[in-house]
A and B are shown apart, each in its own frame.
Chain A
């Protein structure tokens, strides 16, 4: 018994140091005990291995050793002779917990952000209604179904170019990169969707792969990502041209809703029609208003006014002429009366006489004429030449006859 146990212990003791990764299934830490016992379980296969370590190893600052934690352990296989039990004797334990994973992703994020890979100016617009959509998903996954069913319902004419591959695990990133290159090289593919359902941070790890992020940044085709649930953010979401919350949401982003588009088009059409009809009616009203204006509607008015004008002018002309003639006649009558009134003939008729000197001037004063001067006397009956002879008249000259 002793011999066998020692030989096994020797043989196991000769095995070298190994690094193993696993999940802490059980943890027992007793108060003052120097040794800590834990059970490490393989994350994929159903097997577990007991691990022992010194308290200092388990309680190293910064290490949060709890049940369920993912850890990497440096250990040497050990056979405890006293109990005949096998264990891994750990000399170093490192957490690969959420914190460390997220910290690693964050470092890559900062690096790529500094390079400008996530800048808004890099985002390309998606085509309005792509004929062919490239889809990268796990085969027969819920994500695949959500994208295809929703997109087809919204836009029945859409076609898909599928690329099915592993979407978790160590090969996932490389697979997705491969799919991306192939779909990007296909000239018919107008937009690429990378879709995967929800999962743990570890499951979604490939979608924060630096190589994949750079591959997406390098595509010519716009890329839509729908990875995990709405709350999960992977680095591909930052670099994608459009980040959809879920695969269904991605389908909404890549194709328009046909009914909605039909309504939109119908609405625009009827608006255009109304607008045009309205304008036409407005113009017709305008034309009617022009045609019913008196100047256009009753052109005879053009003549009408003028005929009246002519008539009026004619009447005025006649009236004016008659006035003129009548006026002239009255004038003649007046003149005749005045001539008659002014004529000395009537005065002469009453017995008056007009005396003129030889030069024709009228004699108004006896002093004007000299004695013996020859004068002419005019009476109603005619002329009579006389010679002045003051001596023949005994009465002195007076003014009374004047």
Chain B
């Protein structure tokens, strides 16, 4: 993720669009230019999803450090 500002797309939106991109790529029947543009969009969306998931993990880890200590 190159931008530091919060993306406006939610995880669910990004996920849904990514699934759609992959489906269209797999279905084929596109021009080279179209499939390249779709692939680039797919990469972007995958990064966005990853960003959200990474952030979720960070928040989960930060939420209850005492809980983890108690469990050890």
Contact = CB atoms under 8 A, between A and B. Distances in A.
Interface in A253-310: 269-270, 273, 276-277, 280, 283-284, 286-287, 290-291, 293, 295-296, 299, 302-303, 306
B46 A302 contact: no
Given A290-B18, A302-B32, A280 B60 contact: yes
A295 B43 CA distance: 11
Contact of A269 (B32, B50, B64): B64
A290 B53 contact: no
B57 A287 contact: no
A293 B56 contact: no
Contact of B39 (A273, A283, A296): A296
Contacts of A296: 22, 25, 39, 42-43, 46
A287 B53 contact: yes
Contacts of A283: 11, 15, 49, 53
Contacts of A276: 56, 60
Nearest to B67: A269
A306 B32 contact: yes
Interface string B1-43: 0000000000100010011001001100000100110010011
A186 B33 CA distance: 78
Contact of A284 (B39, B42, B53): B53
Nearest to A284: B53
Contacts of A306: 32
A293 B22 contact: yes
Contacts of A302: 32, 35-36, 39
Interface of A: 269-270, 273, 276-277, 280, 283-284, 286-287, 290-291, 293, 295-296, 299, 302-303, 306
28 contacts: A270-B71, A273-B60, A273-B63, A276-B56, A276-B60, A277-B60, A280-B53, A280-B56, A280-B57, A283-B15, A283-B49, A284-B53, A287-B46, A287-B49, A290-B22, A290-B46, A291-B46, A293-B22, A295-B22, A295-B25, A295-B39, A295-B42, A296-B46, A299-B36, A302-B32, A302-B35, A302-B39, A306-B32
Given A286-B15, A295-B39, A296-B42, 19 more contacts: A269-B64, A269-B67, A273-B60, A273-B63, A273-B64, A273-B67, A277-B60, A280-B57, A280-B60, A283-B11, A287-B15, A287-B18, A287-B46, A290-B46, A291-B46, A293-B22, A295-B22, A295-B25, A299-B36
A-B pairs, top 7 by smallest CB distance, nearest first, are A295-B25, A299-B39, A287-B49, A296-B42, A291-B46, A302-B35, A280-B56
